[in-house]
Amino acid sequence: MSFGSRAHVAMQAYGPACIGIDPHAALLEQWGLEDSVEGLDRFASICVEAFAGQVAFVKPQSAFFERFGARGVVVLERTIEDLRHTGSLVVLDVKRGDIGSTAQAYAEAYLDDDAPMAADAITVSPFLGFGSLAPFFEVAEKNDAGVFVLALTSNPEGPEVQHARLADSSGTTVAGGVLAQLADLNAGAAPMGSYGAVVGATIGSADEDLSINGPILVPGFGAQGGTVEDIRRLFGDVIDHVIPSTSRGVLAAGPDVAALREAAARVNAELVGS
């Protein structure tokens, strides 16, 4: 099954929420764990136990593992391996973006099913030009994986690039161009395509066409300020394709596994009820 098909099935089974695994130092301390590889390993193991086969999407943030060097990357590899094929889909948050053979290498590292760090989907940046992402889409297609492309992010610096107008005479913004090209890639796919956009829950308004026939990953939901009402207002007719992502709002319930599961279930119930 394509990533788009698997994502649709998982959302129907568990609800749309994506739970982030963000083991930053303050959260490790909150859980009573050392800010060390050992604390990282324990944190990740608890998250796997709590969320594997319980939610549709789990999103490890690579940077919080990479900061511990090679040993942290080993923990990330094991976390991905333990999560995959449990019913939960792994969206690895790496935001990679490069050109030529380097982009190809990144794609093979994260999307080739035989790679040690293979995920179900990854996040990428299009700001070296949308065409530079071709290796990611090609490798994803071969491996039934997914790609989420940054389009409209919530950070205050984002608009200076994302709202800029393209050099042609169309008047299209950079974000609008990204979304339109994703729609082209997903054209005709059912129940939806495998190539998604990243659109923040706290962007205020979305003047672009979000009908990309693909999944829309929406960070910023929950502790970062995004609400169910924001999601309903921003995404309207495409809300069935929306994957709201939260980390702190759920992870604050840890380290108790049952409490983490209950927190994730509450998020999904809130979202489904919307």
Active-site amino acid positions: 95
Rounded Cα–Cα distance for residues 120 and 123 (Å): 11
Q: How far apart are the first and last CA of the chain?
A: 28
DSSP summary character for residue 32:
T
Please count the structural domains in the chain: 1
Q: Which phi and psi (to 5°) does residue 53 adopt? A: 75, 10
**149: nearest Cα among 163, 130, 162:** 130
Which structural domain range is residue 151 located in? 3-273
> What's the CA dihedral at 79, 81, 83, 84 to 10 degrees?
150
Residue 4 CA from chain centroid, whole number: 13
Whole-model pTM over 0.85: yes
Full pLDDT tens readout for the chain, 274 residues: 999 999 999 999 999 999 999 999 999 999 999 999 999 999 999 999 999 999 999 999 999 999 999 999 999 999 999 999 999 999 999 999 999 999 999 999 999 999 999 999 999 999 999 999 999 999 999 999 999 999 999 898 999 999 999 988 788 999 999 999 999 999 999 999 999 999 999 888 878 999 999 999 999 987 778 899 999 999 999 999 999 999 999 999 999 999 999 999 999 999 998 5
What CATH number is associated with residue 56? Answer: 3.20.20.70
Please list the alpha-helical segments (H only) found in the chain.
Answer: 3-14, 25-30, 37-51, 62-66, 70-83, 100-111, 134-142, 159-162, 174-186, 228-235, 248-251, 257-273
